[in-house]
Amino acid sequence: MKKLLIGAIVLAALAVGGLAALQIPALQDRLIEAAIRSRMDESDRAPLFADDALRLLVCGSSSPLPAPDRARPCLAVIAAGRFYVVDTGPGSWNRLALLRIPGQRIGGVLLTHFHSDHIGDLGEFNLQTWVAGRGAPLKVWGPAGVERVVAGFNESYALDAGYRTAHHGAALLPPADGMMEAHPLALATDGSAQVAFTDGDLTVRVFPVTHTPIEPAVGYRFDYKGRSLVISGDTVKDAHLIEAARGADLLAHEAQNNDIVARMHDAASALDRPRLQKVLVDIPSYHTSPVEAAEVANAAGVPLLLMYHLTPPPPNRIAESVFLRGVAAVRKGGVVLARDGTLIELPLDGGRAKISILRP
Protein backbone atom coordinates (compact mmCIF):
# COMPACT_ATOMS: atom_id res chain seq x y z
CA MET A 1 0.00 0.00 0.00
CA LYS A 2 2.81 2.34 0.98
CA LYS A 3 4.62 1.54 -2.31
CA LEU A 4 1.50 2.36 -4.27
CA LEU A 5 1.14 5.68 -2.48
CA ILE A 6 4.78 6.61 -3.17
CA GLY A 7 4.33 5.66 -6.82
CA ALA A 8 1.28 7.90 -7.10
CA ILE A 9 3.15 10.80 -5.49
CA VAL A 10 6.11 10.36 -7.90
CA LEU A 11 3.78 10.26 -10.90
CA ALA A 12 1.98 13.39 -9.71
CA ALA A 13 5.31 15.17 -9.19
CA LEU A 14 6.44 14.18 -12.69
CA ALA A 15 3.17 15.46 -14.20
CA VAL A 16 3.43 18.78 -12.37
CA GLY A 17 7.13 19.02 -13.23
CA GLY A 18 6.36 18.27 -16.88
CA LEU A 19 3.74 20.98 -17.02
CA ALA A 20 6.13 23.40 -15.37
CA ALA A 21 8.84 22.47 -17.89
CA LEU A 22 6.47 23.42 -20.72
CA GLN A 23 6.64 26.99 -19.43
CA ILE A 24 10.42 27.17 -20.04
CA PRO A 25 10.95 29.41 -23.14
CA ALA A 26 13.88 27.37 -24.50
CA LEU A 27 11.80 24.18 -24.41
CA GLN A 28 8.82 25.95 -25.95
CA ASP A 29 11.04 27.19 -28.78
CA ARG A 30 12.31 23.66 -29.46
CA LEU A 31 8.76 22.32 -29.64
CA ILE A 32 7.62 25.13 -31.97
CA GLU A 33 10.61 24.64 -34.27
CA ALA A 34 10.02 20.89 -34.47
CA ALA A 35 6.32 21.45 -35.26
CA ILE A 36 7.12 24.01 -37.98
CA ARG A 37 9.61 21.70 -39.62
CA SER A 38 7.29 18.69 -39.61
CA ARG A 39 4.47 20.77 -41.14
CA MET A 40 6.74 21.98 -43.97
CA ASP A 41 8.60 18.78 -44.74
CA GLU A 42 7.20 17.08 -47.86
CA SER A 43 10.11 14.65 -48.29
CA ASP A 44 8.25 11.71 -46.78
CA ARG A 45 5.57 12.10 -49.49
CA ALA A 46 7.95 11.07 -52.30
CA PRO A 47 6.87 7.38 -52.11
CA LEU A 48 3.31 8.46 -53.03
CA PHE A 49 4.67 9.57 -56.38
CA ALA A 50 6.85 6.53 -57.04
CA ASP A 51 6.06 4.85 -60.34
CA ASP A 52 5.00 1.59 -58.72
CA ALA A 53 1.23 2.07 -58.31
CA LEU A 54 -1.86 3.90 -59.44
CA ARG A 55 -3.12 5.71 -56.33
CA LEU A 56 -6.32 7.38 -55.20
CA LEU A 57 -6.25 9.78 -52.26
CA VAL A 58 -9.47 11.14 -50.77
CA CYS A 59 -9.11 14.91 -50.28
CA GLY A 60 -12.82 15.38 -49.57
CA SER A 61 -15.28 12.66 -48.58
CA SER A 62 -18.34 14.71 -47.68
CA SER A 63 -21.29 16.19 -49.54
CA PRO A 64 -22.86 19.65 -49.16
CA LEU A 65 -23.82 18.82 -45.56
CA PRO A 66 -21.32 20.14 -43.03
CA ALA A 67 -18.90 17.82 -41.25
CA PRO A 68 -16.16 18.81 -38.79
CA ASP A 69 -13.50 16.49 -40.19
CA ARG A 70 -14.46 16.09 -43.84
CA ALA A 71 -14.01 18.38 -46.84
CA ARG A 72 -16.50 18.41 -49.71
CA PRO A 73 -15.91 16.11 -52.71
CA CYS A 74 -12.34 15.82 -53.92
CA LEU A 75 -10.35 12.81 -55.15
CA ALA A 76 -6.69 13.00 -56.13
CA VAL A 77 -5.48 10.41 -58.63
CA ILE A 78 -1.71 9.96 -58.44
CA ALA A 79 0.14 8.49 -61.41
CA ALA A 80 3.24 9.15 -63.46
CA GLY A 81 4.70 11.43 -60.78
CA ARG A 82 1.76 13.83 -60.80
CA PHE A 83 -1.65 14.15 -59.23
CA TYR A 84 -4.92 14.94 -60.96
CA VAL A 85 -7.75 16.31 -58.85
CA VAL A 86 -11.32 15.28 -59.58
CA ASP A 87 -13.54 18.02 -58.11
CA THR A 88 -12.43 20.73 -55.75
CA GLY A 89 -15.07 20.89 -53.03
CA PRO A 90 -14.86 23.52 -50.28
CA GLY A 91 -12.14 22.65 -47.77
CA SER A 92 -10.39 20.20 -50.07
CA TRP A 93 -7.28 22.32 -50.73
CA ASN A 94 -6.87 22.68 -46.99
CA ARG A 95 -7.09 18.89 -46.64
CA LEU A 96 -4.41 18.27 -49.29
CA ALA A 97 -2.19 20.94 -47.76
CA LEU A 98 -2.57 19.40 -44.29
CA LEU A 99 -1.58 16.07 -45.84
CA ARG A 100 1.53 17.81 -47.26
CA ILE A 101 0.90 16.90 -50.89
CA PRO A 102 3.38 18.96 -52.97
CA GLY A 103 1.19 21.40 -54.90
CA GLN A 104 3.69 21.83 -57.73
CA ARG A 105 3.08 18.21 -58.74
CA ILE A 106 -0.49 18.94 -59.85
CA GLY A 107 -1.22 17.78 -63.40
CA GLY A 108 -4.63 19.39 -63.61
CA VAL A 109 -8.18 19.48 -62.33
CA LEU A 110 -11.15 17.54 -63.70
CA LEU A 111 -14.63 18.71 -62.81
CA THR A 112 -17.60 16.34 -62.91
CA HIS A 113 -20.22 19.12 -62.92
CA PHE A 114 -20.59 22.58 -61.52
CA HIS A 115 -22.55 22.25 -58.28
CA SER A 116 -20.92 24.43 -55.65
CA ASP A 117 -19.85 21.47 -53.52
CA HIS A 118 -17.62 20.36 -56.44
CA ILE A 119 -16.06 23.65 -57.50
CA GLY A 120 -15.82 25.82 -54.37
CA ASP A 121 -12.05 25.46 -53.90
CA LEU A 122 -11.05 25.75 -57.57
CA GLY A 123 -9.58 29.21 -57.04
CA GLU A 124 -7.55 27.97 -54.06
CA PHE A 125 -6.16 25.00 -56.00
CA ASN A 126 -5.06 27.36 -58.76
CA LEU A 127 -3.53 29.99 -56.51
CA GLN A 128 -1.84 27.63 -54.08
CA THR A 129 -0.30 25.34 -56.69
CA TRP A 130 0.96 28.42 -58.60
CA VAL A 131 2.64 29.67 -55.43
CA ALA A 132 4.03 26.16 -54.86
CA GLY A 133 5.79 26.35 -58.25
CA ARG A 134 3.50 24.68 -60.78
CA GLY A 135 5.27 26.56 -63.58
CA ALA A 136 2.42 26.65 -66.13
CA PRO A 137 -1.26 27.60 -66.33
CA LEU A 138 -3.50 25.10 -64.54
CA LYS A 139 -5.47 22.90 -66.91
CA VAL A 140 -9.10 22.38 -65.94
CA TRP A 141 -11.08 19.73 -67.82
CA GLY A 142 -14.82 19.41 -67.58
CA PRO A 143 -18.01 19.12 -69.58
CA ALA A 144 -19.45 22.08 -71.48
CA GLY A 145 -19.70 25.04 -69.13
CA VAL A 146 -16.18 24.61 -67.74
CA GLU A 147 -15.08 27.66 -69.78
CA ARG A 148 -17.53 29.85 -67.88
CA VAL A 149 -16.57 28.48 -64.46
CA VAL A 150 -12.84 28.90 -65.18
CA ALA A 151 -13.31 32.42 -66.57
CA GLY A 152 -15.28 33.36 -63.45
CA PHE A 153 -12.64 32.05 -61.04
CA ASN A 154 -9.84 33.65 -63.08
CA GLU A 155 -11.64 36.97 -62.85
CA SER A 156 -12.54 36.70 -59.17
CA TYR A 157 -8.90 35.90 -58.29
CA ALA A 158 -7.37 38.46 -60.70
CA LEU A 159 -6.82 41.15 -58.07
CA ASP A 160 -5.32 38.66 -55.64
CA ALA A 161 -2.97 37.24 -58.31
CA GLY A 162 -1.80 40.79 -59.01
CA TYR A 163 -1.12 41.39 -55.32
CA ARG A 164 0.95 38.21 -55.11
CA THR A 165 3.13 39.09 -58.09
CA ALA A 166 3.54 42.69 -56.84
CA HIS A 167 4.61 41.42 -53.42
CA HIS A 168 6.84 38.44 -54.33
CA GLY A 169 8.01 39.45 -57.82
CA ALA A 170 7.33 38.16 -61.33
CA ALA A 171 10.39 35.89 -61.20
CA LEU A 172 8.73 33.82 -58.46
CA LEU A 173 5.14 34.27 -59.62
CA PRO A 174 4.94 34.93 -63.39
CA PRO A 175 1.39 36.22 -64.05
CA ALA A 176 0.86 33.96 -67.11
CA ASP A 177 1.47 30.83 -65.00
CA GLY A 178 -1.14 31.88 -62.45
CA MET A 179 -4.09 31.49 -64.80
CA MET A 180 -6.37 28.53 -65.42
CA GLU A 181 -7.05 27.11 -68.88
CA ALA A 182 -10.43 25.53 -69.59
CA HIS A 183 -10.52 22.30 -71.59
CA PRO A 184 -14.13 21.46 -72.45
CA LEU A 185 -14.74 17.78 -73.11
CA ALA A 186 -17.04 16.43 -75.80
CA LEU A 187 -19.28 13.53 -74.81
CA ALA A 188 -20.27 10.61 -77.00
CA THR A 189 -23.96 10.64 -77.92
CA ASP A 190 -24.18 6.92 -77.13
CA GLY A 191 -22.85 7.52 -73.62
CA SER A 192 -19.67 5.52 -74.09
CA ALA A 193 -16.40 6.58 -72.48
CA GLN A 194 -14.23 8.81 -74.69
CA VAL A 195 -10.56 9.68 -74.28
CA ALA A 196 -10.35 13.07 -72.56
CA PHE A 197 -6.55 13.29 -72.60
CA THR A 198 -3.40 11.25 -72.16
CA ASP A 199 -0.28 11.91 -70.14
CA GLY A 200 2.40 9.40 -71.10
CA ASP A 201 1.04 5.99 -70.04
CA LEU A 202 -1.96 7.56 -68.31
CA THR A 203 -5.23 7.64 -70.25
CA VAL A 204 -8.22 9.53 -68.86
CA ARG A 205 -11.68 8.90 -70.27
CA VAL A 206 -14.91 10.81 -69.72
CA PHE A 207 -18.50 9.54 -69.85
CA PRO A 208 -21.91 11.04 -69.10
CA VAL A 209 -23.83 10.20 -65.92
CA THR A 210 -27.38 11.03 -64.81
CA HIS A 211 -27.74 13.88 -62.29
CA THR A 212 -30.90 15.42 -63.74
CA PRO A 213 -31.63 18.33 -63.94
CA ILE A 214 -27.88 19.00 -63.93
CA GLU A 215 -26.60 18.50 -67.45
CA PRO A 216 -24.00 17.74 -68.42
CA ALA A 217 -22.63 15.72 -65.51
CA VAL A 218 -19.78 13.26 -66.04
CA GLY A 219 -17.61 10.59 -64.50
CA TYR A 220 -13.99 9.72 -65.30
CA ARG A 221 -11.94 6.59 -65.84
CA PHE A 222 -8.17 6.49 -65.30
CA ASP A 223 -6.04 3.71 -66.84
CA TYR A 224 -2.35 3.49 -66.04
CA LYS A 225 0.02 0.64 -66.86
CA GLY A 226 -2.60 -2.09 -66.51
CA ARG A 227 -4.43 -0.68 -63.44
CA SER A 228 -7.60 1.34 -63.57
CA LEU A 229 -10.05 3.29 -61.45
CA VAL A 230 -13.36 4.95 -62.14
CA ILE A 231 -14.95 7.97 -60.43
CA SER A 232 -18.72 8.36 -60.58
CA GLY A 233 -19.22 12.06 -59.95
CA ASP A 234 -22.82 12.79 -58.87
CA THR A 235 -25.31 10.40 -60.41
CA VAL A 236 -28.16 8.02 -59.92
CA LYS A 237 -27.47 4.34 -60.55
CA ASP A 238 -26.30 4.64 -64.12
CA ALA A 239 -25.89 2.23 -67.04
CA HIS A 240 -23.17 4.31 -68.75
CA LEU A 241 -21.18 4.26 -65.53
CA ILE A 242 -21.49 0.47 -65.28
CA GLU A 243 -20.18 0.14 -68.84
CA ALA A 244 -17.31 2.55 -68.21
CA ALA A 245 -16.34 0.73 -65.00
CA ARG A 246 -16.17 -2.77 -66.51
CA GLY A 247 -12.85 -4.41 -65.76
CA ALA A 248 -11.65 -1.59 -63.49
CA ASP A 249 -9.80 -2.34 -60.26
CA LEU A 250 -11.53 0.34 -58.21
CA LEU A 251 -14.80 2.26 -58.38
CA ALA A 252 -15.16 5.45 -56.34
CA HIS A 253 -18.91 5.99 -56.19
CA GLU A 254 -21.00 8.67 -54.52
CA ALA A 255 -23.44 7.43 -51.86
CA GLN A 256 -26.47 8.89 -50.17
CA ASN A 257 -28.43 6.99 -47.54
CA ASN A 258 -32.04 7.89 -48.25
CA ASP A 259 -33.36 6.24 -45.08
CA ILE A 260 -31.31 8.68 -43.02
CA VAL A 261 -32.31 11.53 -45.35
CA ALA A 262 -35.97 10.60 -44.69
CA ARG A 263 -35.35 10.80 -40.95
CA MET A 264 -33.70 14.20 -41.46
CA HIS A 265 -36.80 15.25 -43.36
CA ASP A 266 -39.00 14.19 -40.44
CA ALA A 267 -36.80 16.11 -38.02
CA ALA A 268 -36.96 19.22 -40.25
CA SER A 269 -40.73 18.87 -40.24
CA ALA A 270 -40.87 18.55 -36.44
CA LEU A 271 -38.61 21.59 -36.11
CA ASP A 272 -40.79 23.60 -38.51
CA ARG A 273 -38.05 24.17 -41.08
CA PRO A 274 -40.02 23.95 -44.36
CA ARG A 275 -37.21 25.09 -46.68
CA LEU A 276 -34.89 22.38 -45.40
CA GLN A 277 -37.79 19.92 -45.67
CA LYS A 278 -38.23 20.78 -49.36
CA VAL A 279 -34.51 20.27 -50.10
CA LEU A 280 -34.55 16.91 -48.31
CA VAL A 281 -37.55 15.83 -50.36
CA ASP A 282 -35.75 16.75 -53.59
CA ILE A 283 -32.27 15.24 -53.16
CA PRO A 284 -33.03 11.49 -53.26
CA SER A 285 -33.99 11.83 -56.94
CA TYR A 286 -30.48 12.50 -58.21
CA HIS A 287 -28.10 10.47 -56.06
CA THR A 288 -27.26 6.79 -55.50
CA SER A 289 -27.92 4.82 -52.31
CA PRO A 290 -25.14 2.72 -50.76
CA VAL A 291 -26.97 -0.48 -51.76
CA GLU A 292 -27.31 0.78 -55.36
CA ALA A 293 -23.62 1.74 -55.43
CA ALA A 294 -22.82 -1.84 -54.39
CA GLU A 295 -25.07 -3.11 -57.17
CA VAL A 296 -23.23 -0.91 -59.70
CA ALA A 297 -19.85 -2.28 -58.58
CA ASN A 298 -21.21 -5.82 -58.80
CA ALA A 299 -22.69 -5.27 -62.26
CA ALA A 300 -19.39 -3.85 -63.51
CA GLY A 301 -17.38 -6.64 -61.88
CA VAL A 302 -15.22 -4.20 -59.91
CA PRO A 303 -13.49 -5.84 -56.93
CA LEU A 304 -13.13 -2.71 -54.76
CA LEU A 305 -15.81 -0.09 -54.11
CA LEU A 306 -14.98 3.16 -52.34
CA MET A 307 -18.04 5.17 -51.30
CA TYR A 308 -17.46 8.92 -51.11
CA HIS A 309 -19.57 12.11 -51.36
CA LEU A 310 -21.30 10.68 -48.30
CA THR A 311 -24.75 12.08 -47.59
CA PRO A 312 -25.10 12.55 -44.73
CA PRO A 313 -21.42 12.25 -43.72
CA PRO A 314 -21.31 9.67 -40.89
CA PRO A 315 -19.75 11.22 -37.76
CA ASN A 316 -18.85 7.95 -36.00
CA ARG A 317 -18.77 4.13 -36.27
CA ILE A 318 -22.42 3.73 -35.32
CA ALA A 319 -23.48 6.15 -38.04
CA GLU A 320 -21.19 4.36 -40.51
CA SER A 321 -22.87 1.09 -39.65
CA VAL A 322 -26.33 2.62 -40.19
CA PHE A 323 -25.11 4.23 -43.43
CA LEU A 324 -24.06 0.82 -44.81
CA ARG A 325 -27.21 -1.07 -43.77
CA GLY A 326 -28.26 -3.51 -46.48
CA VAL A 327 -24.96 -3.36 -48.38
CA ALA A 328 -23.63 -6.66 -46.99
CA ALA A 329 -26.72 -8.41 -48.34
CA VAL A 330 -25.80 -7.53 -51.93
CA ARG A 331 -22.01 -7.47 -51.80
CA LYS A 332 -19.63 -9.66 -49.82
CA GLY A 333 -16.64 -7.50 -48.96
CA GLY A 334 -14.73 -5.09 -51.14
CA VAL A 335 -16.47 -2.01 -49.70
CA VAL A 336 -14.67 0.95 -48.17
CA LEU A 337 -16.34 4.02 -46.71
CA ALA A 338 -14.15 7.03 -47.49
CA ARG A 339 -12.68 9.35 -44.92
CA ASP A 340 -10.54 12.34 -45.71
CA GLY A 341 -7.07 10.88 -46.15
CA THR A 342 -8.18 7.42 -47.31
CA LEU A 343 -5.46 6.17 -49.66
CA ILE A 344 -5.92 3.27 -52.05
CA GLU A 345 -2.86 1.98 -53.89
CA LEU A 346 -3.11 -0.33 -56.90
CA PRO A 347 0.39 -1.81 -57.37
CA LEU A 348 1.59 -1.88 -60.97
CA ASP A 349 2.84 -5.44 -60.47
CA GLY A 350 -0.81 -6.51 -60.28
CA GLY A 351 -0.73 -7.10 -56.51
CA ARG A 352 -3.64 -6.59 -54.16
CA ALA A 353 -4.97 -3.11 -53.48
CA LYS A 354 -3.56 -1.53 -50.31
CA ILE A 355 -5.92 0.58 -48.22
CA SER A 356 -4.69 2.98 -45.56
CA ILE A 357 -5.31 6.41 -44.08
CA LEU A 358 -2.74 9.08 -44.84
CA ARG A 359 -2.15 11.17 -41.69
CA PRO A 360 -0.94 14.78 -41.62
Q: Which residues are known to be catalytic?
A: 117
Dist CA 132 CA 173 (whole Å): 9
Q: Please give the helix or strand (H or E) that residue 7 lies within, else none.
A: helix 2-21
Contacting range for Zn ion; rule: CB under 5 A; set: 113-121, 321-329, 342-350, 352-360? 113-121
| # residues near Zn ion by CB under 5 A | 3
State which amino acid sits at residue 5. L
Q: Considering the rule CB under 5 A, would residue 117 count as an interface residue with Zn ion?
A: yes
Determine the 3-state secondary structure of 144 from DSSP. Answer: coil
Dist CA 336 CA 306 (whole Å): 5
Contacting range for Zn ion; rule: CB under 5 A; set: 22-30, 110-118, 149-157, 338-346? 110-118
Nearest Cα to 344, choosing from 152, 13, 75, 106?
75
Looking at the Cβ atoms of 74 and 268, the one nearer to Zn ion is 74
Site for Zn ion in 200-239 (CB under 5 A): 234
Dist CA 149 CA 122 (whole Å): 9
Smallest gap from Cβ 113 to Zn ion, in A, equals: 6
Looking at the Cβ atoms of 17 and 66, the one nearer to Zn ion is 66
Q: Please give the helix or strand (H or E) that residue 313 lies within, else none.
A: none
Smallest gap from Cβ 211 to Zn ion, in A, equals: 6
**55, 115, 237, 253: which one contacts Zn ion (CB under 5 A)?**
115
Site for Zn ion in 46-75 (CB under 5 A): none
Determine the 3-state secondary structure of 106 from DSSP. Answer: strand
Looking at the Cβ atoms of 209 and 291, the one nearer to Zn ion is 209
Looking at the Cβ atoms of 234 and 292, the one nearer to Zn ion is 234
Strand partners, 343: 57, 356
What is the torsional sign of CA 167, 39, 62, 220?
Answer: positive
Dist CA 314 CA 320 (whole Å): 5
Smallest gap from Cβ 115 to Zn ion, in A, equals: 4
Q: What is the 3-state secondary structure (H, E, C) of 165-197?
A: HHHHCCCCCCHHHHCEEEEECCCCCCCCCEEEE
Smallest gap from Cβ 69 to Zn ion, in A, equals: 18
Q: Give the angle 74-80-84 at the CA atoms, nearest 5°.
A: 20
Smallest gap from Cβ 233 to Zn ion, in A, equals: 8
Strand-strand pairing, 218-224 and 194-199: unpaired
Contacting range for Zn ion; rule: CB under 5 A; set: 31-39, 91-99, 112-120, 347-355? 112-120
- Eight-state DSSP code of residue 214: B
Determine the 3-state secondary structure of 341 from DSSP. Answer: coil
Looking at the Cβ atoms of 88 and 277, the one nearer to Zn ion is 88
Site for Zn ion in 277-336 (CB under 5 A): none
Smallest gap from Cβ 118 to Zn ion, in A, equals: 6
Looking at the Cβ atoms of 64 and 178, the one nearer to Zn ion is 64
Site for Zn ion in 160-199 (CB under 5 A): none
- Eight-state DSSP code of residue 101: -
Nearest Cα to 352, choosing from 227, 240, 190?
227
Smallest gap from Cβ 116 to Zn ion, in A, equals: 9
Dist CA 339 CA 314 (whole Å): 10
Looking at the Cβ atoms of 234 and 340, the one nearer to Zn ion is 234
Contact residues toward Zn ion (CB under 5 A) are 115, 117, 234
